């Protein structure tokens, strides 16, 4: 099923006009949060967030991703009110402190989300573009049936090449990542079906709701390997990580050796960060690749 973007909003419209257009409500107040985000209070007391995205397809990709995750009926996400080429309007999440019970529940819900599946590795959400984004970096949702080959070709190597072209990874250093890609069939572990991934599951995109339920925001949703979401969650830290894993494994045990594969799955987000943020992340990616290649 596809979702139409709704009426176009002129680029000059402010967040209050965009929120009114997509919710059909009168605006009672606006509070800027950053250069790209604003909270808008509606006349019925609800609060929505208006987000300006960078790429022309980024809002469509994010809206489609949120709806695809919501359709699984597992992890909660903010409701999408509408989007145009560059703006997205979603419900605000009232946040609270992270707790262990919420972390266990989140782990169970994340396992159920992954089990909802995808048509293929790299499959975009229904209505989502092939030319999508992960954060501010372009990400192509090209499909494949074989995870090791698909992951190398469409998730690791494009960002490695960009990092080399930019000088963030030196040409002589790229070989260690390429060797890991060549060895992926033996490093990947048991074959698994495509999972429905959030795709950019770092802690900043995990909101701990005041009602005790986690909400996920800013997805780069696609069909992938479930261990990639878990590896990204571990990469930048998450409250109560053991509780999240406990909840996850109550629903879907992980394949033997998953701990040794974490670095392989972290190559993708680390190289994305190297492209966006520079040499420090490139060094982390190279260290992970050396460890994987030596294993």
In order, the DSSP letters of 129-179 are: -SEEEETTEEEE---BS-HHHHHIIIIIHHHHHHHHHHTSS-GGGHHHHHH
Closest by alpha carbon to 156, among 64, 72, 225?
Answer: 225
Q: Which helix (H) or strand (E) holds 30?
A: strand 27-32
* 274: nearest Cα among 114, 134, 77: 134
Tokens 């990874």 belong to: 169
Q: CA 189 to CA 223: how far, in whole Å?
A: 18
- Beta partners for 195? 224
Has 242 been annotated as catalytic?
no
* Cα Rg of the chain, angstroms: 19
User: Contact 251/140 with Cβ under 8 angstroms?
Assistant: no
Closest by Cα among 81, 22, 78, 18 to 52:
18
**C-alpha distances out from residue 78 to 8, 75, 93, 143, 229, Å:** 21, 10, 7, 27, 19
Q: Assess contact for 127 and 5: CB atoms under 8 A.
A: no
Instruction: Name the 3-class secondary structure at 33.
Output: coil
Catalytic residue among 84, 109, 200, 229: 200
Count CA within 13 A, CB hemisphere, residue 99.
11
The values of phi and psi at residue 281, to 5°, are: -75, -30
Q: Which residues are catalytic?
A: 200
């Amino acid at each position: 099923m596809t979702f139409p973007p709704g009426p176009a909003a002129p680029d000059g419209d402010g967040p209050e006009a965009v929120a009114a257009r997509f919710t059909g409500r009168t605006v009672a107040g606006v509070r800027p949060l950053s250069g790209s985000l604003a909270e808008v209070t509606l006349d019925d007391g609800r609060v929505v967030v208006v987000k300006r995205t960078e790429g022309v397809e980024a809002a469509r990709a994010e809206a489609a991703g949120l709806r695809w995750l919501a359709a699984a009926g597992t992890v909660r996400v903010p409701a999408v009110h509408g989007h145009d080429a560059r703006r997205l309007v979603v419900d605000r999440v009232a946040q609270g402190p992270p707790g262990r019970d919420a972390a266990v529940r989140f782990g169970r819900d994340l396992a159920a989300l992954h089990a909802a599946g995808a048509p293929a590795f790299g499959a975009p959400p229904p209505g989502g573009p092939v030319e999508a984004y992960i954060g501010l970096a372009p990400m192509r949702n090209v499909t494949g049936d074989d995870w090791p080959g698909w992951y190398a070709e469409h998730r690791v190597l494009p960002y490695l090449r960009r990092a080399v072209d930019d000088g963030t990874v030196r040409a002589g250093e790229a070989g260690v990542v390429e060797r890991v890609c060549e060895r992926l069939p033996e490093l990947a572990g048991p074959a698994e079906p495509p999972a429905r991934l959030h795709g950019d599951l770092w802690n900043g995109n995990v909101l701990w709701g005041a009602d005790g339920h986690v909400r996920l925001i800013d997805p780069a949703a696609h069909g992938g390997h479930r261990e990639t979401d878990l590896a990204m969650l571990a990469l930048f830290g998450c409250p109560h990580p053991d509780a999240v894993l406990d909840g996850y494994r109550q629903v879907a045990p992980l394949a033997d050796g998953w701990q040794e594969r974490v670095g392989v799955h972290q190559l993708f987000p680390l190289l994305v960060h190297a492209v966006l943020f520079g040499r420090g992340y490139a060094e982390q990616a190279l260290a992970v690749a050396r460890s994987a290649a030596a294993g």
